[in-house]
């Protein structure tokens, strides 16, 4: 892993949590970010989530390496990213029934 990269794993399939890359286990979904916050992308230039196909292993220099496959985004995620869509839990645009009159 490059210097300054951050790793996050998908916890309970619902939220991302910071974790050392060395703690990633086979089957876990994870993502990496560069030191500047930009996502690390797969070779297709679009996919930014990965599923570990092996447990992390230590390599020279104390860093870790994980064999992984890209996890494409879902249709819902794509629609939310591309449009002025709504995302579950987002309060934007909602009004209380008392305010509607």
pLDDT tens, residue by residue, 29-69: 999 999 998 989 888 887 889 999 999 998 887 789 999 99
Q: Is residue 46 part of a domain?
A: yes
Q: Examine the pLDDT at 6 and tell me if it is beyond 90.
A: yes
Number of folded domains that form the chain: 1
Q: Is residue 97 part of a domain?
A: no
pLDDT of residue 28: 95
Q: Is residue 98 part of a domain?
A: no
pTM beyond 0.75 = no
Summary mean pLDDT of the chain: 80
Q: Is residue 95 part of a domain?
A: no
Q: Is residue 27 part of a domain?
A: yes
Q: Is residue 96 part of a domain?
A: no
CA dihedral 52, 55, 59, 61 (to 10 degrees): 90
Q: Is residue 77 part of a domain?
A: yes
Beta strand extents in the chain (DSSP E only):
6-11, 15-18, 29-33, 50-52, 57-58, 64-65, 68-70
Domain residues for the domain of 64 are 6-85
């Amino acid at each position: 892993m490059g210097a300054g990269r951050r790793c996050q794993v998908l916890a309970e399939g619902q939220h991302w949590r910071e974790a050392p890359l060395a703690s990633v286990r086979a089957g876990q979904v994870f993502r990496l970010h560069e030191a500047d916050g930009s996502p690390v992308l797969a070779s297709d230039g679009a996919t930014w989530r990965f599923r570990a196909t092996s447990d992390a292993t230590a390599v020279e220099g104390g860093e870790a390496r994980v064999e992984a496959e890209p996890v494409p985004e879902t249709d819902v995620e794509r629609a939310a990213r591309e449009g002025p869509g709504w995302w579950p839990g987002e309060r934007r645009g909602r009004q209380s029934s008392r305010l509607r009159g």
